[in-house]
Amino acid sequence: MVRINDNYLKLRGSYLFSTIAKKVNTFVKENPDKEIIRLGIGDVTRPLTPSITDALHKTVDEMGKAETFRGYAPDLGYEFLRNAVSENDYKARGCDIAPDEIFISDGAKCDSGNIQEIFSVDNSIAVCDPVYPVYVDSNVMAGRGGEYNEITEGYSDIIYMPCVIENNFAPQLPAKVPDIIYLCFPNNPTGAVISKDELQKWVDYANENGSVIIFDAAYEAYIRTEGVPHSIYECKGARTCAIELHSFSKNAGFTGVRLGYTVIPKDLERGGVSLHRLWARRHSTKYNGAPYIVQRAGEAVYSKKGKKEIKGLVDYYMNNASYILDGLRGAGYTVSGGVDAPYIWLKTPEGMSSWEFFDHLLINANVVGTPGSGFGAHGEGYFRLTAFGSHENTKRAVDRIKAL
Ligand SMILES: Cc1ncc(COP(=O)(O)O)c(C=O)c1O
């Protein structure tokens, strides 16, 4: 009889957003006159910009004509997009990444979940705590988690690197060396960033110990502070230890369009084997490419007009972030993030748990955020608000919280 992959049974239910939805639905039913403002989700709300929609319209028409119709995309993605990425995201920043080291995909979630497949199941992994849950769950599914411990709220075989107020939400180099290290800066959920010098320490540590860093740069477009690295390849030696993930979701609003890319430098080898070769093999076997029309839309992100529009989108959200940050700080909350990231991370007041604060905000301000404990044990006592709402709603939500 067939046996299931019982690693799946070790997964914790993804109860965070379903519990939030249940609590909000119950509240709405019981209080039909109250208007809820949601600052909880990580999805964008602004529409695609004209350069993007123009590219989409144009290429849909191309697909409708025999002379310009396109079928399967090339394995790594179309050259026009890989060239644009290499030029704009890397060469312009002094990073040496060639177009054929870039793998176009349908987003960073799939890549961050799938990349672990090219590594042995015996490898140990390290993650920040709190963390974007995909890194943990995809490794648990593969059998790298060990057993879940209800008391520590973690898996026995995973190295958790606490990111708390005391260390400025930046992880410390672990004493026990992990094989694979997941880093995400600007960070979801804390909104924290690290300096180039700090990131260089991770690169040196990985090179000294033979570890591989998986660097999630999904929020890179939100960086405003000088000296904060946009790419791990700004650090010396990163070509021999780091894989980088990117998304078009948060900068260009592609959450529903789907586009991303992964970089694996050709110098990155372990056990004498090129990781680029393994991922290329995996990509060509299991993936048939992001749609041509979407890759053309991605190319438009790098046009002069596209860049200006995308900056407008990011500025729009960051204006919200400043409003939240200033408003809550003024009201006496301890807040961080929100400067180089669209996430604001606040310490719950008066020793409230993350869920107690969730209920408090829902009931008294009719505002929905995300309890920090949903992202890991060290998220307890914190709360995430996002800058992805409309200006109007963000302002109203902050004013309501200030009035509590
Ligand atoms: C850290 C991080 N990586 C990746 C993603 C997913 O990005 P994509 O929409 O490209 O799949 C998210 C989405 O919330 C994220 O927060």
Q: What does the pLDDT read at residue 31?
A: 96
Q: What does the pLDDT read at residue 171?
A: 98
CA atoms of 245 and 215, how far apart (whole Å): 6
Q: What does the pLDDT read at residue 41?
A: 80
The size of the chain, in residues, is 404
C-beta 109 within 6 A of ligand 1? yes
C-beta 247 within 6 A of ligand 1? yes
**35-74 as b/e, with b when 16 or more CB fall inside 10 Å?**
eebbbbbbebbeebbebbebbbeebeeeeeeeeeeeeebe
Domain ranges of the chain: 11-47+305-402, 52-304
C-beta 212 within 6 A of ligand 1? no
132, 135, 386, best to mutate for ligand 1 pocket (most atoms within 8 Å of CB): 132
C-beta 249 within 6 A of ligand 1? yes
Q: What does the pLDDT read at residue 18?
A: 86
Q: Give the Å distance between the CA of 272 and the centre of ligand 1.
A: 31
Angle formed by the axes of helices 304-330 and 391-402, nearest 10°: 10
- DSSP H stretches of helix in 64-189: 79-85, 108-114, 134-142
C-beta 105 within 6 A of ligand 1? no
Q: Give the Å distance between the CA of 358 and the centre of ligand 1.
A: 23
Q: Give the Å distance between the CA of 297 and the centre of ligand 1.
A: 19
Could you please state the CATH topology (level 3) that the domain comprising 52-304 is classified under: Aspartate Aminotransferase; domain 2 (3.40.640)
Task: Please give the CATH architecture assigned to the domain spanning 11-47+305-402.
Answer: Alpha-Beta Complex (3.90)
- DSSP letters, 92-106, are GGT----GGGEEEES
Per the confidence metrics, is the pTM higher than 0.95? yes
C-beta 132 within 6 A of ligand 1? yes
Nearest Cα residue to atom 7 of ligand 1:
108
**Closest atom of ligand 1 to CA, residue 250:** 9
Averaged pLDDT, groups of 10, the chain, 404 residues long: 96 84 95 95 94 98 98 96 98 97 97 98 98 96 96 96 97 97 98 98 98 98 97 98 98 98 98 97 95 98 98 98 97 97 97 97 97 96 97 97 95
Q: What does the pLDDT read at residue 17?
A: 85
Nearest Cα residue to atom 12 of ligand 1:
109
Q: Give the Å distance between the CA of 248 and the centre of ligand 1.
A: 9
Q: What does the pLDDT read at residue 16?
A: 85
Please state, in angstroms and as integers, the Cα–Cα distance from residue 213 to each residue in 53, 59, 184, following that order: 35, 37, 10
C-beta 138 within 6 A of ligand 1? no
**Closest atom of ligand 1 to CA, residue 247:** 10
CA dihedral 19, 390, 261, 373 (to 10 degrees): -30
Q: Give the Å distance between the CA of 108 and the centre of ligand 1.
A: 5
Domains 11-47+305-402 and 52-304 share a fold: no
C-beta 108 within 6 A of ligand 1? yes
Print the SS3 string covering 266-287: CCCEECCEEHHHHHHHHHHHHC
Q: Give the Å distance between the CA of 184 and the centre of ligand 1.
A: 10
